[in-house]
Amino acid sequence: MSEVTRAEVCVVACAEAFRGDGEIVANPIGLLPMLGGQVARASFEPDLVLKDDEALLVANQLRVGVADAPKVVEGWIPYRTMLEVAWSGRRHVMMGATQIDRYGNQNIAAIGPLGAPKVQLLGFRGAPGNTINHATSYFVGNHSPRVFVERVDVATGIGYDRAAQLGDAGRFHRIPRVVSNLGVFDFETPEHTMRLQTLHPGVTVDDVVTATGFELAVPDDVGETRLPSDEELRLIRDVLDPEARRDREVEA
Amino acid sequence: MSASKRATEDEVVAELESGMTIGIGGWGSRRKPMSIVRAIARSDLTDLTIASYGGPDVGLLCAAGKVRRVHFSFVSLDSIPLEPHFRSARESGTVDVTEYDEGMFSLSLQAAAWRVPFLPTRAGLGSDLFRTHPGLRTVRSPYDDGEELVAAPALELDAAIVHLNRGDERGNAQYLGIDPYFDDLFLGAARRRFVSVERIIATEGLLDEGPVQTLRVHRYLTDGIVEAPHGAHFTSCAPDYERDESFQAEYAGSAKSPEAWDAFRTKYVDLPSHADYLAQVGIQ
């Protein structure tokens, strides 16, 4: 097989976010996270429930980003049902972030002062409800100090500091993992601040530290993000994304 | 048989007043009642508050200068993530907002529909919604747990407009696509309720194309029904038609300059009727 691309490493790093989840709705948003969800179910998390980009729960390995891909439908999940799943906690979403800080607070609403945005983004979307109710992971395809910031301008999804202030009311909050184009991150520090977990092949600790706008926890022995298995590569390349759209999302 | 509720877009607009809070159904750039939205855009209504799972309905009304405030959790064209007209309205400070979490927004509509002042939820706790949604309050559980929750306030609408696939002239309506979105909640939360449909058919034909579960909008929820073929154009209205992506790109391009918007508005908005719009777009 030809050399593994950075996008393929990211797909498997996204897939690993769902390891151990069991029979819940995995709701990865964006091309690489969606590929990751499919890989997770096919490789090591067979009970995951996955949807297409409309309102169908699909049991087969789904070609991503293609409207007329063959689907084995196992359920119907219109938006209002998905909200109920979120409130029930039986869901793990992987969202994007325009900004994310050291505690995992996420911003997808606006850049600039509150009420007078320099840049109007999407809005809060479901981020407050997601982060307070169930596991929320993040994928960021352009790791830079503009994204990994000291403080988010607006906290749409809540991080560990805000969840801790809520006490018991924050008991369902969890950010299992952040995947970027440079590495994998978790919050396994005493204060639940962001920690470098693994580096993608070819990336150095310096690369990551330079691209991060806050003080990142860096353990002495940082490992390398695992490579896709041959079977995972075949699945990604031949079944899920034969047009290699993934390689347009992050640099190869 | 009771009287027909058939109406035209302009008759619906005549029922609306400046300063009203108007809810618009659909989701993003999907199943938006665009023929009525354009009729509002070319009317003399002003100072509207719009509540929406926002798409080009919000952007077009902002560009037309009709909007004072938007209640929203997102405004997006789906295939174009950020709505460019909404974006410029926000960045130039011409439109105020009240922000919501997606689920909290549905609870606010549900609370209004059920005539209760709020519904409790965890969504919003700890987030900056409390900074961007002034007046948002929490409520403490009266039971032993004593838990503090967000009190999603009832979002009462003066009027609601939604677009579905089929309906009858008494005001029943049917969606044939994959998702009902929250259209029935918008209607339930509103005092004046208007639905447009692709085709008005005989009541006897309402089960011809879909099972009874697709009859989501009942006539006690509607005051007027407009027959508007391609009424959601350029947003999607599956299975009747998908989103017109090239037209949507042209719409998005009209946010590039005031001149571009004026040209778009003259060509596609300031037309006497929906039929003229369809002729202009080239839909038979």
Does pLDDT of B1 surpass 70?
Answer: no
Name the residue among A114, A122, A129 with its Cβ closest to that of B76.
Answer: A122
Cβ–Cβ below 8 Å for A123 and B75: yes
Looking at residue B133, what is its pLDDT? 87
Q: Is B272 helix (H, G, I), strand (E, B) or coil?
A: coil
Query: CA–CA separation, B188 vs A176, rounded Å?
Result: 39
Q: How close, in Å, is residue B107 to chain A by CA atoms?
A: 10
Query: CA–CA separation, A10 vs A4, rounded Å?
Result: 10
Q: How close, in Å, is residue A134 to chain B by CA atoms?
A: 11
Average per-residue pLDDT for chain A: 96
Query: CA–CA separation, B255 vs A24, rounded Å?
Result: 41
Looking at residue A252, what is its pLDDT? 62
Per-residue pLDDT tens digits for A228-245: 999 999 999 999 999 999
Q: How close, in Å, is residue A80 to chain B by CA atoms?
A: 7
Residues on chain A touching B123 (C-beta within 8 angstroms): 87, 126, 128-129, 132-133
Alpha carbon separation from B217 to A61, B105, B175, B202 (Å, rounded)? 35, 20, 9, 15
Report the b/e string of B35-66 with b at 16+ CB within 10 A.
bbbbbbbbbebeebbbbbbbbbbbbbbbbbeb
Looking at residue B248, what is its pLDDT? 98
Residue ranges for chain A with pLDDT beneath 50: none
Query: CA–CA separation, A244 vs A227, rounded Å?
Result: 17
Per-residue pLDDT tens digits for B131-163: 988 899 999 999 999 999 999 999 999 999 999
Cβ–Cβ below 8 Å for A156 and B106: no
Per-residue pLDDT tens digits for B188-238: 999 999 999 999 999 999 999 999 999 999 999 999 999 999 999 999 999
For domain A6-248, the CATH architecture is: 3-Layer(aba) Sandwich (3.40)
Looking at residue A65, what is its pLDDT? 77
Q: What is the pLDDT averaged over residues B257-277? A: 98
Average per-residue pLDDT for chain B: 97
Q: Comparing C-alpha atoms, which of A186, A115, A182 is closest to residue A147?
A: A182
Q: Comparing C-alpha atoms, which of A1, A44, A2, A52 is closest to residue A22?
A: A44
Looking at residue B277, what is its pLDDT? 98
B141 touches chain A (CB under 8 A): no
Q: Is B234 helix (H, G, I), strand (E, B) or coil?
A: coil
Alpha carbon separation from A133 to A38, A86, B125, B211 (Å, rounded)? 23, 6, 10, 34
Domain boundaries, chain B: 6-100+155-276
Per-residue pLDDT tens digits for B35-64: 999 999 999 999 999 999 999 999 999 999
Q: How close, in Å, is residue B223 to chain A by CA atoms?
A: 25
Query: CA–CA separation, A64 vs A28, rounded Å?
Result: 12
Cβ–Cβ below 8 Å for A131 and B75: no
Question: Amino acid identity of B151?
Answer: A
Query: CA–CA separation, B107 vs B210, rounded Å?
Result: 28
Looking at residue A11, what is its pLDDT? 98
Q: How close, in Å, is residue A225 to chain B by CA atoms?
A: 30
CB B237 within 8 A of CB B35: no
Task: Provide the strand spans (E) within B64-141.
Answer: 67-72, 96-99, 118-121, 137-140
Looking at residue A171, what is its pLDDT? 97
Kindly give the residue spans of alpha helices, DSSP state H, lying in A6-159. 6-17, 31-43, 79-88, 127-133
Looking at residue B150, what is its pLDDT? 98
Is residue B161 within a helix (H) or strand (E), and if so which, with residue range? strand B157-167
Burial class for A215, CB neighbours closer than 10 Å (0-12, 13-18, 19+): exposed
Domain boundaries, chain A: 6-248
Residues on chain A touching B101 (C-beta within 8 angstroms): 124-129
Give B 70-99 residues with CB within 8 A of chain A. 72-76, 81-82, 86-87, 90-91, 93, 99
Task: Give the CATH superfamily of B6-100+155-276.
Answer: Glutaconate Coenzyme A-transferase (3.40.1080.10)
Name the one residue in this structure whose structure tokens are 């987030």.
Answer: B127
Q: Is B30 helix (H, G, I), strand (E, B) or coil?
A: strand
Nearest CA in chain B to A127: B101
Please give the structure tokens belonging to residue B89: 């309205």
Quote ipTM for the complex: 0.96
B52 touches chain A (CB under 8 A): no
Looking at residue A251, what is its pLDDT? 75
Nearest CA in chain B to A112: B91
Nearest CA in chain A to B120: A87
| Parallel, antiparallel or unpaired: strands A91-95 and B173-174 | unpaired
Instruction: State the distance between the two ends of chain A, measured CA to CA, in whole angstroms.
Output: 16
Per-residue pLDDT tens digits for B90-125: 999 999 999 999 999 999 999 999 999 999 999 999
Burial class for B284, CB neighbours closer than 10 Å (0-12, 13-18, 19+): exposed
